[in-house]
Amino acid sequence: MKVHQVDLRSDTVTQPTKGMRDAMMRAPLGDDVWGDDPTVNTLQEQCADMFGKEAACFVPSGTMANQIAIRCHTQPGDEIILHKDSHIVHYEGGGAAALSGCSFALTDGARGFFTPEDVTALIRPDDAHFGRSKLVSLENTHNRGGGSVWPLDQLTAVCKTARDADLRTHLDGARIWHAIVASSLDAQTWGAPFETISACFSKGLGCPAGSVIMGSKETIRTARRIRKLFGGTMRQTGILAGAAIYALNHHVERLGEDHANAKTLAIGLSHIKGIASDVTHTDTNLVFFDIDRSLGDGDTFCRKLWQNGILAEALDPQRIRFVTHLGVTKTDIERAIQVTADLCHELD
């Protein structure tokens, strides 16, 4: 008998809902390379307005959105100040170096957060011996920080320090929708301190693909040129933009269900011998937990979970991530807790 799978690897594994598929098929189409796809244009205007920016550009992926932003703000030899656990550092293929010729100045801090003082300490002197500090990038929610939501005052203070030092600011908002719902603060509030913002439609919102970069008209004009340079222009992209518009109108508020499921999951895991799960820091839909070395390493543990129908990912040798999303029910959460508990008991 086939084991029912509960896919907790990522919120990118979601499938479009029937309503979203219908919206995709109904979307009016044009040619986005020519700028005349009406659905793409509507999505871009909706996102720019939502975040209080002048313009937006639809792109295939979150990685491309971040890398376009970096290229917009920097020149080869510049440095980017950001947290050492950022997505841009870990999961974008070294793109900042390969595509923009930039290096990183890395901060530290619990849960992916850093301070104005951290930024000040990393700003290079105006000296020909050094790379130029040019850009400060934050991630909200922060993936490897446990889906953490930045404290707004701290985020604002970091961006002010950057501006006072004549540095640009970028928000990697791949999961900014989760921060909006968890904090009850609107998109404009979160977006105001930044020159550019990226946001992803395939993480949590159920879209098959697509991200957006937002900023001033001048910056987005540059972003469109870089999108072409990076090979990211597409043609009848309204099919994907139609999914994104549907998601913005129907799937954002429901993220609260994923947050509640994540909290339930974290609480359940915290009661299992051999597992350390920080319930108080489960802000959104990402649940991180550490397994005792007596249970083996994370990769091996995940393989055993897979054999029992629970799909998960090990991010570090002893650290595992579960991700809730619109494809995961309360019953699935209960099953994931039980299977994990049974496996820990078996390996103990």
Q: What is the pTM of this model?
A: 0.96
Give me the count of residues in the chain. 348
Burial of 107 (0-12, 13-18, 19+ CB in 10 A): buried
Which residues pair with residue 59 across a beta bridge? 211
Residue ranges in 209-316 assigned as alpha helix (H): 217-229, 238-250, 255-270, 298-307
How far is it, in rounded angstroms, from Cα 219 to Cα 68? Answer: 10
What are the residues facing 319 on neighbouring strands? Answer: 290, 316
Q: Which residue reads 């998960």 in tokens?
A: 312
- In this predicted model, what pLDDT tens digit does every residue of 124-161 receive, in sequence order? 999 999 999 999 999 999 999 999 999 999 999 999 99
What single letter denotes the amino acid at residue 246? Y
CATH number of 6-13+254-347: 3.90.1150.10
Give which of 80, 182, 90, 188 is closest to 135, Cα–Cα. Answer: 80
For residue 131 the two structure tokens come to 């790379």
- Span 18-250: which CATH code? 3.40.640.10
| 3 state SS of 110 | helix
Helix, strand, or coil (residue 311):
strand
Summarised one tens digit per residue, pLDDT across range 24-61 is: 999 999 999 999 999 999 999 999 999 999 999 999 99
Q: Around Cβ 159, how many Cβ atoms within 10 Å?
A: 22
**What is the pLDDT, as a whole number, of residue 2?**
67
| Paired sense of beta strands 103-107 and 132-139, if any | unpaired
CB 176 within 8 A of CB 140: yes
248 touches 49 (CB < 8 A): no
The domains of the chain are located at: 6-13+254-347, 18-250
pLDDT at position 348: 79
- Residue stretches of the chain with pLDDT short of 70: 1-2
The residue type at 159: C
Cα–Cα distance for residue pair 332/266, rounded to 1 Å: 14
